[in-house]
Structure 1
Amino acid sequence: MLQRLIDDVKQSTGSALRLTSLAAAAAIALFITIAFLCAAAFVYVLQHYGPVEACLSGAAVFLVVTLIAIAVYMARKREMRLRAEKAAKAAKSAAATMLADPALIATGLQIVRAIGVKRLIPILAVGGLALGLMASRSAAGSSEPDEEE
């Protein structure tokens, strides 16, 4: 089971690295394309209207692009905060439901009596670590499709 977990991590890391390098190459190509389009537009406006108008039109275009980027960033940040609050509420209610179950509490007490507290502490530490890794992995998996949209 541990080997499968390690293989899954290796596979997801390799896939993320490949996707990141592909996205970086696309971003560089897009940047170069936009630079040439901006240069062409600047030269066109410069020839027809003059240097001041060319600079002002270029500034206006980049101001609009910046305002759009800020609006998208703020909307995305708000969406992520709402999603985090919703996940925290769901986790809190799930934990409360489990702790309210008397059969689960009785089973837990029987396990503690059978194993002993001194031996149970390292087992709980490893279990907590595994639970944290699984939770972070499932959270990362659920957020990947949203980023593609």
Structure 2
Amino acid sequence: MLQRLIDDVKESTGSALQLTSLAAAAAIALFITIAFLCAAAFVYVLQHYGPVEACLSGAGVFLIVTLIAIAVYTARKREMRRRAEKAAKAAKSAAASMFADPALIATGLQIVRAVGVKRLIPILVVGGLAFGLMASRGAASSGEAEEE
């Protein structure tokens, strides 16, 4: 059980590292391509219109790219905030409905009485750890599903 969990972590870490290095290589190649395209456009404008116009046109292009990046960033940040608020509301309503159930509370008290508080603490710690691992795994798989 534990070995399988360790193997899963190793496999996911290895694939994430491979994807990250591939994305970095693609980003470097894209940066070099854009640099050469900008240089070619600058030389073209320089030959036809002069140095001042070439510099101003280059600055204008990069200003437009920057404004587009800022707009995408703010829209993405707003969407992430909206998703976080929805998730928080859903978690609050789920927790409220769960703790409002008298049968669940009575069952929990019976378990505490039967097991004992001193023995229950390590069980709760291990259960919390397992729940955290499951939640992080579920969030990672849902994030991968959204990217596709």
Say whether the fold is shared (TM-score over 0.5): yes
User: How much does 1:3 deviate?
Assistant: 3.2
Distance in structure 1 (CA, Å) of the matches to 2:99 and 2:44: 70
Distance in structure 1 (CA, Å) of the matches to 2:137 and 2:26: 27
Q: What is the aligned length?
A: 147
SS for the counterpart of 1:135 is: helix
User: How much does 1:102 deviate?
Assistant: 2.4
Q: Which moved more, 1:13-22 or 1:38-47?
A: 13-22
Extract unaligned runs of 5+ from structure 2.
Answer: none
Distance in structure 1 (CA, Å) of the matches to 2:88 and 2:110: 30
For normalisation by structure 1, the TM-score amounts to 0.90
Alpha-carbon spacing, 1:105–1:138, altered in 2? closer, same or farther (3 Å):
same
1:41-90 per-residue CA deviation (whole Å, 9 max, x = no partner) reads: 00000000001100000000000000000000000101111111111111
Extract unaligned runs of 5+ from structure 1.
Answer: none
The alignment yields a C-alpha RMSD, in angstroms, of 1.6
User: How much does 1:15 deviate?
Assistant: 1.6
Q: Which moved more, 1:130-139 or 1:88-97?
A: 130-139
Alpha-carbon spacing, 1:82–1:62, altered in 2? closer, same or farther (3 Å):
same
Distance in structure 2 (CA, Å) of the matches to 1:88 and 1:70: 27
User: How much does 1:133 deviate?
Assistant: 2.3
User: How much does 1:143 deviate?
Assistant: 2.1
Sequence identity percentage: 90
Alpha-carbon spacing, 1:100–1:4, altered in 2? closer, same or farther (3 Å):
farther
Alpha-carbon spacing, 1:36–1:75, altered in 2? closer, same or farther (3 Å):
same
Distance in structure 2 (CA, Å) of the matches to 1:7 and 1:104: 36
User: How much does 1:126 deviate?
Assistant: 1.9
